Amino acid sequence: MRKTVLLLHTGGTLGMVGGRPHTLKPAPFAEALRARVPELTELANVQLELFSNLDSSEVQPEAWLALARRLHQRLPEVDAAVVTHGTDTLAYTASALSFLLPGLRRPVVLTGSQRPLQEVRSDARLNLIDAVTAALRGPPEVTVCFDSHLYRGNRTVKVKVAEYDAFASPNFPPLGTLGVHAHFLPGLRPRGRPGLLPGLETRVFLLKVFPGLDPALPLLLLPKLRGLVVEAYGAGNVPVEERSGRSLLPLFRAARARRIPVLVVSQAPRNAVELGLYQGGAAIAEEGAIDGGDLTAPAAVTKLMCGLALHPDGPALRRYLETSVAGERS
């Protein structure tokens, strides 16, 4: 019996028209899909649903929630789902969905393209075929299929703008490769019943540490925040020398006083935060900073949003952030 794959189109370059010297813009998708990739119907019974038609720079947390609700509603009726999405925020959406849909039992594969489907040299056609193949044969979790590789969704980052291998998974191996033969790993084992998180806390800020950062600036933001992600140097190092006037210790102290969780990740794409390794990291750990391990920035931001909605305060939130709940950290 042929399997059924739900194809949710959200927008992005894959479904756009235009291009140099003209601006890319969203365009009707259903006709282009039938004309350019008729082979999809040979793989499965594909049910196309036009969820939205947005440039991914316009995709906000409200869209993640709506998409998660739609997937939660439709997945029991199909064998898998493929979500077409713009590449700029694809890693954020993939990460968010992995946390919003706990206990997933069916594959949810996100894909996109660097060139529109209607262009001759587009990568969209192969990405779509590979994504449906991965949805039929891949692991039951949220993944990203791009350039003949299948990655865990909450481990991906966009690394290139003008090349077809646009995504990477710096700290976790691919879950599948799709060459002459397609090979897939088992992936995550489903845990618990399929669920849907009811909401997100979006009052979260991502702060990248850099030489010359004036601590007064993030301190001004703090009263408006419920959570903070800090991209620190290396293993979690930040400036803490008080005499320099650039110490970030006052920020961490103020956050602790306001009971605002601060999740620390690394600017380095590979390896993990280890807050006790250097003086700066150890000092902020004493002020309550939470070690983000090898979380990517998109995973850290979206997990903190989900964690704050689940556990508004206290030790339960710290445990949630320090534990791997969807394979997002080692």
Enumerate the active-site residues: 13, 87-88, 158, 278
Q: Kindly report each contact of residues 16-23 with a partner whose C-beta sits within 8 Å and lies 24 or more positions away, as own/partner.
A: 16/55, 16/116, 17/116, 17/118, 18/116, 19/115, 19/116, 19/119
Which among 53, 154, 18 has a CA at the least distance from the CA of 95?
154
Question: For every residue of 81-150, which 3-state class applies, written as one string?
Answer: EEEECCCCCHHHHHHHHHHHCCCCCCCEEEECCCCCCCCCCCCHHHHHHHHHHHHHHCCCCEEEEECCEE
DSSP class of 314: S
CA distance 145 to 176: 9
The pair of structure tokens assigned to 153 is 């969704």
Return phi, psi of residue 55, to 5°: -60, 135
229: left (phi over 0), alpha (psi -120 to 50) or beta: beta
**Is the distance from CB of 110 to CB of 11 less than 8 angstroms?**
no
d(CA 135, CA 75): 12
